[in-house]
Amino acid sequence: MLHFDHSLARDLDGFFVPWQAARPPAPRMIAWNAPLAEALGLGEADPEQLARWFSGAEDLPGSQPLALAYAGHQFGHFNPQLGDGRALLLGEVLMPGGARLDLQFKGSGPTPFSRQADGKCALGPALREYLISEAMAALGVPTTRSLAVVATGEGLWREQPHPGAVLTRIAASHLRVGTFEWAAAHKGREAVEQLTDYALKRHFSDRQEAHNRPLALLDAVCEAQAALVAQWMNLGFVHGVMNTDNVTISGETIDYGPCAFLDAYADDKVFSSIDRGGRYAFGQQPLVCRWNLYRLASALIEAIVAVDEADNEVARQMLEAFPERFEAHWLMGLRAKLGLRSSEPEDMSLGRGLFTALDGQQADFTRLFRALSASLGGDYGVVAAELTEREALWPWWNAWRNRVERDGGDPASRAAAMDAVNPLYIPRNHLTDAALSAAEQGDMAPFERLLDLASHPFTPREGMEAYERGAPDGSPAHVTYCGT
Ligand code: AMP
Ligand code: MG
């Protein structure tokens, strides 16, 4: 069985409410992540038993469910009281290797934080989170993982009827920027310090002995978020709702709602039906990330200056310098995508130049980088085929080829290195939609095929060429909806 421990319940009294999952009428296992289950130390079990445990129908042995309180800035506006309105933390699982991971239900019924909503989750959004989080993990992006989706046997009403489900997800923790905002808004400095100690112990144990611990935490989160958002940008990933309650302290991607991968590259691309002002557009993400870190700094500042008044200025400069920190991560990732092992001072302008040249070209973000590696032998045609205007990338491509020349090494190993970081298969929007509609009709085959491909994103598979391509021409613009 799972080896549970409950450090959050022990150390953060007052930050949560003990609670019970709703008992679903007819749980049925829809998606089960066997390799992850094994890594968590969960032995073989009968699928019907698993469905009862991972839906709340039967208490999971060793768990102590609770709903966590948090606040958050949603689309720029502070909401002092959010919290787990449709989620429950069952506790932390101690892995065989010693790691500690949260196990959480999503869609397990109303809690004291549900604010009139039903606390439930529809099957489609639960499977969407499962698919995209597993794809992100396979792409090497820090992320929550998905262990199970169990249909509850209940119907939900979301403009039309949908089957209900419980998603079980695994995370380094569920501490968010919004958890700190909640502590600062409702409980004051001592609670912020208590939360800081807990977060450092859990995620940044090497910084526990820092002179100014809240400042050290701020620095660690800035670093983790800079690295994370840089990875998103290098994969064309749009989170869609970067509210501060969806920003983890650990630096994992969390809360896959109206997220999507870019098809055609465009900095101002928005998929989410609720993001009317484009606040969380693709190109906005580094800026919004810093905005969110300012909110974390505000929550921490009283505790920071209590240690040392002068650290107010250090914190200010840290946030001021965030763009350079982000860009360093972004460029490191982009160098790898472009097959460069050395670094030159002009690499930043080469990298930026690529996206300037791509502006308006309708180039598929994912395919373009595979086309670049395919063009290493000197065939610009494979790159041109991805563009609206065939010559648009010609000057940039020549500059890149000169740079590659200076980088040295042989083309075959460079192409292999590029293809090991530039995916071939991602959960493309039209494929994901088709897979989820089929799943809601009871046909899991398209979901399983897409999950399998997205779980091995770099390896070409025979007969799967359709999965490498964007939506057919003339498809309607893709829109994503919040996972409620
Ligand atoms: P999310 O959009 O999933 O990040 O959720 C934002 C906030 O709304 C969180 O506090 C959630 O717990 C809450 N929430 C979202 N959907 C529901 C629901 N169906 N029932 C209760 N609370 C919800
Ligand atoms: Mg959320």
Amino acid 483: pLDDT: 58
Catalytic residue chosen out of the listed positions 102, 219, 245, 364: 245
| 15-34 pLDDT, tens digit each | 999 999 999 999 999 999 99
Q: Containing H/E element for 103? A: strand 100-106
Q: Are 67 and 84 in contact (CB under 8 A)?
A: yes
**480 has which bridge partners?**
272
In a domain, 118, yes or no: yes
Give the pLDDT band of residue 55 (cuts 50, 70, 90): very high
**Can you say how many angstroms the Cα of residue 325 is from the centroid of all Cα atoms in its chain?**
20
Give the nearest ligand 1 atom to 84 CA. Answer: 12
Same domain for 118 and 96?
yes
Same domain for 324 and 194?
yes
Q: Supply the mean pLDDT for the chain.
A: 97
Give the nearest ligand 1 atom to 255 CA. Answer: 4
- 315 versus 473: the higher-pLDDT residue is 315
Distance between CA 377 and CA 136 in Å, rounded?
30
In a domain, 384, yes or no: no
The three-state secondary structure class of 267 is coil
* 184 Cα: distance to centroid of ligand 1 (angstroms): 21
Which residue matches tokens 């982009």?
Answer: 334
Same domain for 44 and 140?
yes
Which residue matches tokens 């057919």?
Answer: 472
Residue closest via CA to ligand 1's atom 6 equals: 82
Q: Considering only CA atoms, which of 308, 312, 352 is closest in space to residue 330?
A: 352
- Give residue 353's identity as a one-letter amino acid code: G
Sign, CA torsion 258/259/264/270: positive
In a domain, 432, yes or no: no
Contacts of 448 (CB under 8 A, 6+ apart): none
In a domain, 407, yes or no: no
| 450-461 pLDDT, tens digit each | 999 999 999 999
Give the nearest ligand 1 atom to 482 CA. Answer: 2
Q: Is the CB of 364 under 6 A from ligand 1?
A: no
Contacts of 38 (CB under 8 A, 6+ apart): none
* 484 Cα: distance to centroid of ligand 1 (angstroms): 7
Domain boundary among 302, 330, 358: 330
Determine the structural domain holding residue 14 and report its residue range: 4-171
Same domain for 204 and 151?
no
* 362 Cα: distance to centroid of ligand 2 (angstroms): 31
- Give residue 58's identity as a one-letter amino acid code: E
| 354-374 pLDDT, tens digit each | 999 999 999 999 999 999 999
The ligand with the least distance to the CA atom of 87 is 1
Same domain for 134 and 78?
yes
Active site residue 245: yes
With the most atoms of ligand 1 within 8 angstroms of its CB, the residue from 16, 70, 74, 86 to mutate is 86
* 245 Cα: distance to centroid of ligand 2 (angstroms): 6
* 160 Cα: distance to centroid of ligand 2 (angstroms): 23
CA 424, 428, 434: angle at the middle one, nearest 5? 130
Domain boundary among 284, 314, 330: 330
Q: Is the CB of 84 under 6 A from ligand 1?
A: yes
Same domain for 288 and 304?
yes
Distance between CA 234 and CA 50 in Å, rounded?
37
* 49 Cα: distance to centroid of ligand 2 (angstroms): 29
With the most atoms of ligand 1 within 8 angstroms of its CB, the residue from 66, 114, 128 to mutate is 114
Q: Is the CB of 73 under 6 A from ligand 1?
A: no
Which 8-state DSSP code applies to residue 261?
A: E
- Give residue 115's identity as a one-letter amino acid code: R
Q: Is the CB of 164 under 6 A from ligand 1?
A: no
Q: 307 exposed, middle or buried (CB, 10 Å; 0-12, 13-18, 19+)?
A: middle
Q: How many CA atoms lie within 13 A of 451 on its CB side?
A: 19
Same domain for 154 and 187?
no
Q: Is the CB of 83 under 6 A from ligand 1?
A: yes
Domain boundary among 330, 361, 396: 330
**Can you say how many angstroms the Cα of residue 326 is from the centroid of all Cα atoms in its chain?**
17
| 249-280 pLDDT, tens digit each | 999 999 999 999 999 999 999 999 999 899 99
Distance between CA 23 and CA 55 in Å, rounded?
8
| 391-415 pLDDT, tens digit each | 999 999 999 999 999 999 999 999 9
Residue 156 tokens read as 């939900």
Distance between CA 55 and CA 59 in Å, rounded?
9
Cα torsion 169, 170, 176, 180 to 10°: value is 120
Same domain for 109 and 182?
no
Q: At what angle do helices 285-307 and 213-235 cross, to 10 degrees?
A: 170
Count: domains in the chain: 2
Amino acid 477: pLDDT: 81
| 221-230 pLDDT, tens digit each | 999 999 999 9
Which residue matches tokens 């397990």?
Answer: 108
Give the nearest ligand 1 atom to 121 CA. Answer: 19
Cα separation values, 444 from 410, 439, 447, Å: 43, 5, 5
Same domain for 29 and 134?
yes
Same domain for 10 and 155?
yes
**Can you say how many angstroms the Cα of residue 170 is from the centroid of all Cα atoms in its chain?**
12
Q: Containing H/E element for 223? A: helix 213-235
Q: Containing H/E element for 149? A: strand 145-158
Same domain for 166 and 262?
no
- Residue by residue, DSSP assigns 105-148 as EESB---TT-TTS--BEEHHHHHHHHHHHHHHHHTT--B-EEEE
Model confidence, pTM: 0.98
Give the pLDDT band of residue 163 (cuts 50, 70, 90): very high
Q: Is the CB of 118 under 6 A from ligand 1?
A: yes
In a domain, 202, yes or no: yes
- 276 versus 166: the higher-pLDDT residue is 166
* 68 Cα: distance to centroid of ligand 1 (angstroms): 12
**169 has which bridge partners?**
104, 146
Give the nearest ligand 1 atom to 111 CA. Answer: 21
Same domain for 193 and 297?
yes
Max Cα distance, the chain (Å):
65
Residue closest via CA to ligand 1's atom 14 equals: 85
CA 484, 475, 447: angle at the middle one, nearest 5? 50
In a domain, 483, yes or no: no
